[in-house]
């Protein structure tokens, strides 16, 4: 993609969204009703939601609070990429005045649909400031990034760490040395391999008693649309495929997405999802590796904490004022915890 393409734009590509919607991973029966806004010079991906799953900006406590006061929290309007906590453009337009029109259209649609609120998730800083200027509330949470910093090799990266994490990473990698690990572009995956790959992905959810977010048709649609950008890291043991993780490359950034394994293999998750991704970045000159939100253990493995932003509009004035105070306190505690970690 050209350098001017915004970071994370792959995930708002119509082909990425079409795979989710056309393959039935996102649909009204599953609580995701598409309400996309289309202007002449801009668009926003919006969904009317009847629940809060698949967003990765958690507001279940708000839903309970609304219910305690006899109010409906659902439906709500969410401007986001389903199941994809990756920062990127949300008010998708080249001009600021069009982005302002999209922001107004979001609030108008919230009211016309009878939604309690509107939420723009994982938006860039510039869009956040625009919405804050319109009275939207800011909310922050941690995400985790590895940055190249001119490293020439994995050993150079390790040398930049303090002694304890450096020794820990080396120990963890030694303990999975029996696995044969290799990378494949999605376009290189043979048709007969997809059921096995999908079974590995789905097993991650099945062991927790949950339904997978994606079906096999969606993964294959992404592979067809993004044969080079979608990557699989595969692990074999005694010639059998036993685990995989898949990623996307967008511009100069690697995005870790999901993993799955046939059984519990100690430390293999760290190898496939973190260390192999770092090595790929070093081989291909990628500057960042976005390992997603949550998981403070990522800091022990060379990832830096950064902020992911969301913006929120609540129709109920009383709740909006209370939530503003809660979000401000949440941001204060987040900043305080970050300062303590740095010390």
Same domain, 131 and 85: yes
Structure confidence at residue 82 (pLDDT): 98
Q: Has residue 122 been placed in a domain?
A: yes
Same domain, 281 and 312: no
Same domain, 117 and 166: no
Alpha helix segments (H runs only) across the chain: 14-22, 60-68, 96-112, 125-132, 154-159, 163-174, 194-206, 216-225, 268-270, 276-284, 317-342
Q: Has residue 12 been placed in a domain?
A: no
pLDDT band at 1 (very low <50, low <70, confident <90, very high): very low
Q: Has residue 244 been placed in a domain?
A: yes
pLDDT > 70? residue 68: yes
Same domain, 162 and 271: yes
Same domain, 204 and 270: yes
Same domain, 136 and 89: yes
Mean pLDDT of 13-25: 98
Structure confidence at residue 295 (pLDDT): 75
Same domain, 281 and 323: no
Q: Has residue 2 been placed in a domain?
A: no
Q: Determine the structural domain holding residue 157 and report its residue range.
A: 149-286
Q: Has residue 43 been placed in a domain?
A: yes
Indicate the number of domains in the chain.
2
Q: What is the pLDDT of residues 136-185, one digit of tens each?
A: 999 999 999 999 999 999 999 999 999 999 999 999 999 999 999 999 99
* Helix 96-112, helix 125-132: angle, nearest 10: 60
Between 294 and 121, name the one with better pLDDT.
121
Q: What is the pLDDT of residues 107-116, one digit of tens each?
A: 999 999 999 9
Same domain, 158 and 246: yes
Taking the C-alpha atoms of residue 165 and residue 228, their distance in angstroms, rounded to an integer, is 33
Instruction: Name the pairing type of β-strands 253-261 and 288-293.
Output: parallel
Q: What is the pLDDT of residues 292-316, one digit of tens each?
A: 887 778 998 999 999 999 999 999 9
Q: Has residue 13 been placed in a domain?
A: no
276 CB burial (10 A radius; 0-12, 13-18, 19+): buried
pLDDT band at 103 (very low <50, low <70, confident <90, very high): very high
Same domain, 203 and 251: yes
Sheet holding 46-49, edge to edge: 32-34, 46-49, 76-79, 117-121, 304-314, 137-147, 288-293, 253-261, 240-250, 230-237, 180-185
Same domain, 178 and 120: no
- DSSP character at residue 117: E
CATH number, domain containing residue 232: 3.40.630.30
Same domain, 187 and 240: yes
Q: Has residue 11 been placed in a domain?
A: no
Same domain, 169 and 62: no
- DSSP character at residue 289: E
Supply the pTM of this predicted model.
Answer: 0.94
Structure confidence at residue 6 (pLDDT): 82
pLDDT > 80? residue 341: no
Taking the C-alpha atoms of residue 151 and residue 273, their distance in angstroms, rounded to an integer, is 19
- What share of the chain has pLDDT > 70, as a percent? 97
């Amino acid at each position: 993609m050209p350098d001017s393409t915004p970071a994370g734009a792959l995930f708002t590509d119509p082909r990425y969204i079409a795979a989710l919607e056309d393959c039935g991973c996102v649909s009204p029966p599953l609580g995701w009703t598409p309400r996309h806004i289309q202007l002449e010079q801009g668009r926003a991906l919006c969904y009317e939601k009847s629940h809060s799953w698949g967003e990765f900006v958690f507001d279940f406590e708000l839903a309970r609070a609304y219910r305690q006061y006899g109010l409906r929290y659902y439906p709500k309007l969410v401007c986001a990429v389903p199941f994809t906590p990756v920062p990127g453009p949300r008010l998708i337009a080249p001009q600021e005045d069009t982005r302002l029109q999209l922001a107004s259209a979001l609030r108008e649609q919230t009211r016309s649909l009878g939604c309690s609120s509107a939420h723009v998730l994982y938006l860039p800083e510039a869009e956040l400031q625009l919405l804050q200027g319109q009275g939207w509330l800011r909310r922050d949470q941690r995400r985790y990034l590895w940055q190249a910093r001119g490293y020439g090799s994995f050993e150079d990266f390790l040398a930049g760490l303090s002694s304890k994490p450096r020794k820990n990473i080396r120990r963890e990698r030694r303990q999975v040395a029996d696995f044969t690990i290799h990378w494949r572009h999605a376009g290189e995956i043979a048709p007969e391999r997809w059921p096995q790959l999908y079974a590995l992905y789905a097993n991650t959810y099945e062991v927790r008693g949950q339904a997978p977010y994606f079906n096999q048709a969606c993964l294959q649609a992404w592979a067809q649309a993004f044969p080079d950008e979608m990557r699989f890291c595969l692990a074999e043991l005694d010639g059998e495929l036993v685990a995989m993780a898949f990623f996307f490359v967008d511009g100069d950034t690697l995005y870790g997405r999901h993993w799955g394994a046939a059984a519990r293999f100690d430390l293999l998750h760290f190898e496939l999802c973190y260390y192999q991704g770092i090595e790929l970045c070093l081989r291909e000159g990628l500057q960042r590796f976005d390992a997603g939100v949550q998981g403070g253990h990522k800091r022990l493995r060379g990832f830096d904490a950064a902020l992911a932003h969301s913006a929120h509009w609540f129709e109920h004035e009383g709740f909006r004022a209370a939530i503003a105070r809660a979000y401000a306190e949440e941001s204060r505690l987040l900043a305080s915890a970050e300062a303590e970690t740095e010390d």
